[in-house]
Amino acid sequence: MANVSHKRALVTGGAGFIGSHVVQHLVEDGWHVRVLDNLSTGTESNLSEVAACIELLRGDIRDQNDVRRACESVDVVFHLAAYISVPGSVAEPETADDVNIRGTLNMLLCAREAKVRRVVFSSSAAVYGEPATLPVPEDAPTRPASPYGLEKLYGEHMCRLFTELYGLETVALRYFNVYGPRQNPDSEYAAVIPKFISLLLCGERATIYGDGLQTRDFLYVSDVARANLLAAGADDVQGKTLNVASGIGVSIRELHDAITELFGRQTTPRYAPPRPGDVRHSVASIRQAQNLLGFRPAISLMAGLRSTADWLSSRSGC
């Protein structure tokens, strides 16, 4: 394993859904953690369980002074801050581009300047677009179907170049469909699992975009956080990009049926036209992450859905 004896981490976007779980796992593993977040979508309440153990800086990755200050005396950067919505990036490409390209470049420049040992970059399966083969391996052709996917692909290539040109260790993790507690069901572009659960909690019908036969690869958020920690200390991953997923494809109809089964209800979803930028099928090959990180998903879909439903139920106004 690479040397992680200093165990000083910066988590950008650490008040967000995935970021806050990464922060929690780092604290539990004995790291000193600093969070940089502008709280545009993240919330301090996401960090309430570890607030006394971390340093929270309110700042923006687009501001190089904020990023420079955040990188001081840090050993590993976990870069999760991003404009994360695929349909949102289609509607607002300039904003998405500013955050995901300029923000990521700022992070890499300041990490190099601060002599950070490693940057773990959060990328996305959106870089593939519509995969030609399934399960999709990391060396599959990339043809993003949205500005978001293209911006994440840029981030991956910049990470690789910073490793090759400047010696900054980087590793990019391509997340597939992450779900779990703290995921916001109320945003305009809410992910499918919290949206379905929150609607069913309130006795409402869910909406499926397209015919529902499209497939996704769902991974519980604690598994994603664990993959980040593994990537911080693994050998032979510098400059590489790895899929982080379950390796199992589930159709949106099957997902809807699983959630209704969880609630002991039978409801018929509404159907709406497909959304721009959405791909038809997505399921990952996770062999590289298994071999290089020792990563294997620990939480089954039904167990993860149950945990997510419990969390959302405790906060539901219905």
Q: In the chain, where are the structural domains located? A: 8-179+218-245+284-299, 192-215+249-282+304-315
Summarised one tens digit per residue, pLDDT across range 75-129 is 999 999 999 988 899 999 999 999 999 999 999 999 999 999 999 999 999 999 9
What percent of the chain shows pLDDT beyond 90? 89
DSSP string, 59-116: --TT-HHHHHHHHTT-SEEEE--S---HHHHHH-HHHHHIIIIIHHHHHHHHHHHTT-
**Mean pLDDT over the full length of the chain:** 95
**What is Dmax (Cα atoms) for the chain?**
57
Q: Which residues contact 1 (CB under 8 A, 6 or more apart)?
A: 233, 234, 235
Fold match flag (8-179+218-245+284-299 vs 192-215+249-282+304-315): no
Summarised one tens digit per residue, pLDDT across range 57-76 is 999 999 999 999 999 999 99
Which residues are designated catalytic?
A: 148
pLDDT score for 265: 81
CATH number of 8-179+218-245+284-299, picked from 2.60.40.3880, 2.40.10.10, 3.40.50.2300, 3.40.50.720: 3.40.50.720
Q: Is the predicted pLDDT of residue 5 greater than 60, yes or no?
A: no
Q: Is the predicted pLDDT of residue 292 greater than 70, yes or no?
A: yes
Tell how strand 32-37 and strand 8-12 pair up.
Answer: parallel
Would you place residue 264 in the very low, low, confident or very high pLDDT band (cuts 50, 70, 90)?
confident
pLDDT score for 141: 96
Fold classified for 192-215+249-282+304-315: UDP-galactose 4-epimerase; domain 1 (3.90.25)
Mean pLDDT computed over 185-190 = 76
Distance in angstroms (rounded) separating the CA atoms of residues 149 and 89: 9
pLDDT score for 188: 67
Distance in angstroms (rounded) separating the CA atoms of residues 151 and 126: 10
pLDDT score for 6: 60
pLDDT score for 316: 78
Summarised one tens digit per residue, pLDDT across range 301-318 is 999 999 999 999 998 777
Q: Which residues contact 40 (CB under 8 A, 6 or more apart)?
A: none
